[in-house]
Homo-oligomer: A and B are copies of this chain.
Amino acid sequence: MAAPVLDFWFEFASVYSYPAAMRIGALAAAAGVDVRYRPFLLGPIFQAHGWNTSPFNLYPAKGRHMWRDIERICADLSLPFRRPDPFPLSGLLAARVALVGLGHRSAKMAWAEEFCRAVYRAEFAEGRRIDQPETIRDILAALGVDPEKTLAAAQTHEIKDKLRAQTAEAQRLEIFGAPTFITPGGEMFWGNDRLESAIAWAKRVS
């Protein structure tokens, strides 16, 4: 029987997507659940709420709690954490590059998931600007992936359309934040703190 597939919807700008991205691979593998990486952009979804930036910026008290909360969560997970400055950093370029990698099916080309983790690490552990091509180039090179070819592929109409379509699908699914996990059968779980429940649900319904 094929393993159940859990859709992992994430946005590179999203803080709580960081611990989720670092945890999901091992947790899902241990449960016999496959993960499908679905990068998307929260910007258009937030704009539909009338927000022009992160709600953590719009609601400062909520933002202050979030920064402390993520520090505690990362400390518990032994994940280094550094607050991005500025925040949020656009995840547009990283999402396009991730989609280039996710389009490759052969194992030899399967660098996309490692790329996603490396982007989160650069952004939330190393204080790097993931909105700048230089950072993305460095990450690709460290993974043994040709930076110039991949960045060129990321700027094609095909990839731009793919990211637009993925974001439109997220809206259609009524995704309102990241990370969001969707199980076979369409059960939605929002937030890093729901990752374990989402995996258990995916396993149960399969």
Say yes or no: B69 contacts A189, CB within 8 Å. yes
Does residue A104 face the partner (Cβ distance < 8 Å to B)?
A: no
Say yes or no: B69 contacts A190, CB within 8 Å. yes
For chain A, the bracket of interface size reads 20 to 34
Within 8 Å by CB of A65, from B59, B61, B188, lies: B188
Say yes or no: B59 contacts A190, CB within 8 Å. no
Does residue A49 face the partner (Cβ distance < 8 Å to B)?
A: yes
Say yes or no: A176 contacts B65, CB within 8 Å. yes
A176 contacts which chain B residues (CB < 8 A)? Answer: 59, 61-62, 65
Does residue A72 face the partner (Cβ distance < 8 Å to B)?
A: yes
A175 contacts which chain B residues (CB < 8 A)? Answer: 61
Within 8 A of B (CB), among A155-206: 174-177, 187-191, 193-194, 197, 201
Does residue A64 face the partner (Cβ distance < 8 Å to B)?
A: yes
Number of copies: 2
Does residue A149 face the partner (Cβ distance < 8 Å to B)?
A: no
Task: Select the residue from A61, A68, A188, A201 with max chain B CB neighbours within 10 A.
Answer: A61
Give CA–CA (A64, B197) in the complex, Å.
Answer: 18
Give CA–CA (A194, B192) in the complex, Å.
Answer: 12
A201 contacts which chain B residues (CB < 8 A)? Answer: 72
Write the nearest CB–CB distance from A67 to chain B, whole angstroms.
11
Say yes or no: A65 contacts B190, CB within 8 Å. yes
A197 contacts which chain B residues (CB < 8 A)? Answer: 72, 76
A177 contacts which chain B residues (CB < 8 A)? Answer: 62
Give CA–CA (A72, B176) in the complex, Å.
Answer: 19
Give CA–CA (A144, B171) in the complex, Å.
Answer: 52
A62 closest partner in B (C-beta) = B176
A174 contacts which chain B residues (CB < 8 A)? Answer: 61, 64-65
Give CA–CA (A189, B64) in the complex, Å.
Answer: 11
